[in-house]
Amino acid sequence: MRYFLGWSRKKIASGLLVTSVLFVGACSSGEVGSNGGSSGSGSNSGQVIRIAIGTQDQVINTAVGGATVRELELLEKHLPTDGKYEGVRYEIEWSSYTSGPPITNKMLANQLDIGLMGDFPAVINLIKFQQEAKDANSVFVGTLAYSPTGAGNAVVVPKDSTATSLADLKGGTVSVPFGSAAHGMLLNALADAGLDPETDVELISQAPEVGGASLRTGQIDAHADFVPFGELFPFRGFARKIFDGAQTGVPTLHGIVVRTDFAEEHPEIVVAYLKAILEANQMFREDPEGISAQIQEWSGVDKEVVYMFLGPSGLQPLNPTIGEVQVNSLKNSIATLTKLGRLDNPVDPAEVTNWIDESYLLQAMEEMGLDYDEVVATAEGYQISGEDALTGEAITDPKQAAQFWVQGEETVRSFASIGNMVKALVELQAEGQAANVMFVHDHNNGWKLFAENSYFVSNGDQVAAFLIEADAQTYAASNGGQITAFRGLQDLYAARLPLLAGAQR
């Protein structure tokens, strides 16, 4: 028996405890669950329990629940060792994939017990288990990271492309990993832009690494992808973002699906895995630069891109809960796939609530002494704060703040405004140093942006950043400001501060 969303949190948490004890009692007399002590019989000695987890190492939304848990051995730390688990040997099998659909195939074949994937692949996973599997279903047990607006998915073009909007792609070739969260975003976005995905563009399926190579060689006009490639490819200098998933205003997420037969037989292991994720989330918030650097080693994704997504005021909060926004993300995925004819058998989006079970997460929080509402508040309140690295003033508005990461330094420097950041950067360069990356936020929407790939409007000391050129033009027309690229902004500030390298020291 499972308890789903809609039940009180107290009932859900206690329900798992009761279910676990009843299950253990039915399986073996004389043993109790992992929360209730040891049987002392040692009868499980030699028993092997497989825990097979499919992750996506290069997908930064899964990096904390995947590579971080794996490499820091956090799951091993939380696995039960008493009661029915006394004397057992755990065989943890990790495998990484480029997208969610292969993970679903492995789960259906009972080769994976737990899968980490985006919203569109997750609902396909849930639906396929309902419609095709004979021996088990799958259940959505928690979120890894999410965006309430859809930030993270993106469409990029080659660096020297003249395209500035999706409308400019008419008649062109666009690649995307079919069946991914980005695929769903692209189909929606093209339709919103007045383009028919079947006739106005040629859609081809390419994994991220293939799409990146195709962008470099000019074999495609655009590539749509999920976290982190819409930021990673521009950061590496061969692509430019023309559409952000946040422009859809439709929430997106990556989360955790589990085979129900595994969850029902080993609820304590599912709880242990979620405890490992809760600990990994906390470790990241305590040392975002350090964990970002480690994730770079484990995944090959540049630490600056990891930090952009998951650091303070990042694009994707590490909120493990399944709230209304997360549920709506899954419902919308079903509705979109149905509307576009991508499901063989239509499914009522409301069905998704029957495939969600937050009880394992609630039990994990209870065992770790965590309060549900505080976990949510901590994740959502993880914003840029502290003092301006140039002036010492308090940073009171994270969405007006800016940051840069100096080459060779372990921590990011934060500033209360874009102007202060640029002044500090000019000083830094005058001293012969350089920054790996500069971060700003979209003036209208608060999205975190790479400064070098943004449009700016300056009017005296007032500077605003924008992802979309048209937004910058509208803002400039309203306040009389000047539109410039980041390089031009630096030159403007350098001209105002001719004595930086000398007299001001």
Q: What pLDDT, in 10s, does the model give residues 284-299?
A: 999 999 999 999 999 9
Average pLDDT on 411-428 reads 97
User: Does the pLDDT at position 35 exceed 70?
Assistant: no
Give domain status of residue 389, yes or no: no
Please give the tally of structural domains in the chain.
3
- 305 and 418 fall within a common domain: no
* Same domain as 359, residue 261: yes
Note whether 169 and 163 are within 8 A (CB): yes
**Does a structural domain hold residue 202?**
yes
Q: Are residues 418 and 317 in the same domain?
A: no
pLDDT computed for residue 346 by the predictor? 85
Confidence of residue 98 (pLDDT cuts 50, 70, 90): confident
Q: What is the pLDDT of residue 42?
A: 54
Where does a domain end: 232, 248, 264? 248
Indicate the helix (H) or strand (E) that contains 95: strand 89-96
48 belongs to a structural domain: yes
Q: Which of 363, 356, 353, 354 is nearest to 267 (CA)?
A: 363
Give residues with Cβ within 8 angstroms of 204, minimum separation 6: 173, 174, 175, 176, 220
The count of C-alpha atoms lying within 13 angstroms of the C-alpha of 203, restricted to the half-sphere facing its C-beta, is 19
CATH at residue 140: 3.40.190.10
Same domain, 14 and 137: yes
Last residue of some domain: 248, 277, 294?
A: 248
Q: Does residue 474 have a pLDDT over 80? A: yes
User: Of 380, 409, 438, at which residue does a domain stop?
Assistant: 380
Q: Is residue 502 part of a domain?
A: no
Residues 320 and 352 in one domain: yes
pLDDT band, very low/low/confident/very high, at 188 (cuts 50, 70, 90): confident
Mark whether 141 and 96 lie in a shared domain: yes
Q: Is residue 503 part of a domain?
A: no
- Tokens 């073996």 belong to 28
- Per-residue pLDDT, 327: 97
Percent of residues, the chain, with pLDDT higher than 90: 79
Residues 307 and 324 in one domain: yes
Distance from C-alpha of 111 to C-alpha of 106, rounded to nearest angstrom: 5
Q: Is 395 helix (H, G, I), strand (E, B) or coil?
A: coil
Answer yes or no: is 126 within a domain.
Answer: yes
Residue 215 lies in a domain: yes
- What single string gives the DSSP state of each residue in 45-58? TT-EEEEEEEE-TT
DSSP helix/strand/coil, 191: helix
- Do 158 and 287 reside in the same domain of the chain? no
Mean residue pLDDT across the chain: 89
Full strand arrangement of the beta sheet holding 222-225: 202-205, 173-176, 222-225, 154-158, 239-244
DSSP 402-433: EEEEETT-SS-EEESSHHHHHHHHHHHHHTT-
Are 284 and 138 part of one and the same domain? Answer: yes
- Domain with 182 in it: 154-248
Phi, psi of 54 (to 5 degrees): -105, 120
Statement to judge: residues 263 and 242 lie in one domain: no
Residues 47 and 137 in one domain: yes
Q: Residue 230 and residue 211: Cα distance in Å, rounded?
A: 11
For residue 388, being part of any structural domain is answered with no
Please indicate, yes or no, whether residues 174 and 277 belong to a single structural domain of this protein. Answer: no
Mean pLDDT of the region 145-155: 94
pLDDT tens readout for residues 259-278: 999 999 999 999 999 999 99
